[in-house]
Chains A and B, each alone.
Chain A
Amino acid sequence: MSYDPVMLLEAYRRMRAIREFEERMRREVQMGTVPGFVHLYCGQEAVGVGACMNLRDTDYIGSTHRGHGHCISKGCDIGGMLLEIYCKQGGLCNGKGGSMHIADLRKGMLGANAIVGGAPPIAVGAALTHRTLGTDGVAMAFIGDGASNQGTVAEALNFSAVLKLPMIFLYENNGYAEFTGAGYHLGGADIAKRAASFGMPAEKVDGVDFFAVYDAVGRAVAHARAGKGPYAVEAFAYRWYGHFEGDMQKYRDPKEVDRLRAAQCPLARFESRATAEFDIDVSELREIDEEIQELIEEKVAAAKAAPKPPREALYTDVYGSY
């Protein structure tokens, strides 16, 4: 297997951007500068990026409450995202969506979704649009292990299978549904098998390994683009932090995060393989690290300084016309 080095560097850039973005958000939440709830994606970077590096802007994704990483993976503007998270003018949703509803249709991002299990049926509709218009576009829904228990996911799977839609079900099994472990909440304990029972190919991958995710989702996307119907991938990764930032995490061993950082870091894993096997120079990665650090610094400062939406914004965009 060989990979385009330009693609690999871009993948690393996005994973690094997610890490830097989320670590910064974590500090900002702790300092109390961010309104609302924030759900961090650290530890799962390789899933979002590995999946979305297979997609075009005209392909759609439906996301979750833990959506920052999906947005960056799909190419959303980081400055626009930060303005949105700070609920400021010029945010991707003009400051009225916030962290849990960032959307950018021009980038094929159908929205983070604060209802667990809310997005899969919507992504199915985007796949339906592609089929109706006769394009080779696809749609993908990110689904947590928690969401996998929602009826909407079963409905989306069956609907896609029946109509043979170009749809990819990307399960992110991070082992926790809010504060409850998958060992408790997952009947049958096998998410991919549930998808397979609807008659679609379903595979399991190591979600810490960018290359494994990229390859598996590549197969899924090729399958869907070729008109062969839906495909499921279950990626196992780890949620480094709480369900939301501020979660006391009494349900897990405090040393768990340290262990995960040391042993299950998607960026470290990427770096060792990319430099050893695919001719990527470490200095290129450090350059990206620096660029990203500056970018996040600059965009966070800009977001904090940006004007709030005017009072009238309360009343706008409820309807197109009324």
Chain B
Amino acid sequence: MAVKTYREAITEALQIEMRRDPRVIILGEDVVGGLGGTNGEVEAAGGTFGVTAGFAAEFGRRRVIDTPITESAIVGAANGAALTGLRPVAEVMFMDFIGVCLDQMLNQMAKFRYMFGGKCDVPVVIRTLMGAGFGAGPQHSQSLHALLTAIPGLKVALPSSPADAKGLLATAIRDNDPVIFCEHKVLYGESGEVPDGEYLVPFGEANVTRRGNHVTIVAFSRMVLLANAVADRLAKEGISVEVIDPRTTSPLDRDSILESVEKTGRLVVVDEGDPYCGMASEIVSLAATEALDALKAAPVKVTPPHTPVPATPHLEQEWLPSPDKIEKAVRATLDSKLARAG
């Protein structure tokens, strides 16, 4: 166990999986970097954030493949390579860019196994950066995981810690289904203990990051960190908050969420996706349909408003869920009419 950043944990998972299985390849824009520049063929980037730095030297350019800016071809080629025996890890630099390659996700990789009668595996991983917080504006900041979660055939993982980033990515690479691996760009510099060597975190198993009895917070990706901070803050007042990080939205660990809601009777969901048809709505719906009797208060959703993400830094902060908004939501569940009636 060593302390590593989220970014280093991702690099480590890729490195370990590429060393153990020669079928694993990486493709994307600038995953090598610098090709065709005026400095000759130097490995200049290793990805926009340096995640694959040194990979071309170790694994060769046949396995670390620099592509043009061509998302449909990147994801499409990953699909074709996966159908024919490789285990590609393709990079769609920012999640917003799924707009230009959605067909290859929605109609191709997600459907192959089903429409081909189960006669193929589709071991493709799409690594992509989600999330707001850098003032990158409407086309570089979105969290579209719910949109992808609603596509049967895809799996969706959203690590909130360096250890989960490593373990979930390794699981994604070894999985025989297509996985959309959503890395939160604001978490890249976060540090945490990361197990050494091969490390796998199973899909569909939530992580309970704080134990508590009064209120359940279900949070996704970076929102888990905010929820943890609120839980710690409220603990000092004797309010005991349980924080659940589902870690994957597809498959979703419904049991852990319901178990916690049955225990606390109060639910807050924090998600960086849209308030409409998003994970927050989905989890509230789950509690309403499966655990209504246990609810002592109306569940509360903490999400951004139904607007694009503004580039304007102070408006972006306003747009994002914050510890204060989450705390207010937790207090509301403790103080609602339904709570008093119960």
Is A312's CB within 8 Å of the partner chain B?
A: no
Is B306's CB within 8 Å of the partner chain A?
A: no
Is A55's CB within 8 Å of the partner chain B?
A: no
Q: Are A96 and B155 in contact (CB under 8 A)?
A: no
Is B28's CB within 8 Å of the partner chain A?
A: no
Is B85's CB within 8 Å of the partner chain A?
A: yes
Is B317's CB within 8 Å of the partner chain A?
A: no
20 sampled A-B residue pairs with Cβ under 8 A:
A93-B116, A93-B117, A94-B119, A95-B117, A97-B116, A97-B117, A105-B119, A121-B80, A124-B73, A125-B81, A131-B62, A132-B63, A133-B85, A151-B72, A156-B73, A159-B68, A317-B114, A319-B153, A319-B155, A321-B177
Segment at the interface with B among A20-28, A110-118, A292-300:
A110-118
Q: Are B84 and A125 in contact (CB under 8 A)?
A: yes
> Hey, which chain A residues are within 8 Å of B204, CB to CB?
322
User: Closest A-chain residue to B106, C-beta based?
Assistant: A115
Q: Are B114 and A155 in contact (CB under 8 A)?
A: no
Interface residues of A in 257-274 (CB under 8 A from B): none
> Hey, which chain A residues are within 8 Å of B67, CB to CB?
159, 162-163
Q: Give the one of B77, B82, B107, B152 with max A CB within 10 A.
A: B77
> Hey, which chain B residues are within 8 Å of A125, CB to CB?
76-84, 88
> Hey, which chain A residues are within 8 Å of B88, CB to CB?
125
Q: Are B117 and A121 in contact (CB under 8 A)?
A: no
Tell me the A residues contacting B by CB distance below 8 Å.
Answer: 60, 62, 91-97, 101, 103, 105, 110-111, 113-115, 118, 120-133, 139, 151-152, 155-156, 158-159, 162-163, 316-322
Contact with A along B199-216 (1 / 0, CB 8 A): 000001000000000000
Q: Give the one of B70, B72, B111, B120 with max A CB within 10 A.
A: B72
Q: Given the known A-B contacts A103-B119, A152-B72, are A320 and B114 also in contact in the complex, defined by CB atoms under 8 Å?
A: no
Q: How near does chain A come to B28, taking the closest CB pair, in angstroms?
A: 12
Q: Given the known A-B contacts A125-B82, A320-B176, are A155 and B118 also in contact in the complex, defined by CB atoms under 8 Å?
A: no
User: Closest B-chain residue to A130, C-beta based?
Assistant: B84
For the complex, count residues of B whose C-beta is within 8 A of A. 47
Q: Are B107 and A115 in contact (CB under 8 A)?
A: yes
> Hey, which chain B residues are within 8 Å of A62, CB to CB?
80
> Hey, which chain A residues are within 8 Å of B177, CB to CB?
319-322
User: Closest B-chain residue to A309, C-beta based?
Assistant: B117
**CA–CA, A118 to B305, complex, Å?**
35
Q: Are A129 and B115 in contact (CB under 8 A)?
A: no
List of 6 A-B pairs having minimum Cβ-Cβ separation, nearest first = A125-B80, A121-B76, A94-B117, A317-B118, A93-B117, A155-B73
Is B327's CB within 8 Å of the partner chain A?
A: no
**CA–CA, A113 to B108, complex, Å?**
9
Q: Are A111 and B112 in contact (CB under 8 A)?
A: yes
**CA–CA, A93 to B121, complex, Å?**
13
Q: Which of A95, A155, A319 contacts B113 (CB 8 A)?
A: A319
Q: Which of A97, A110, A115, A163 contacts B83 (CB 8 A)?
A: A110
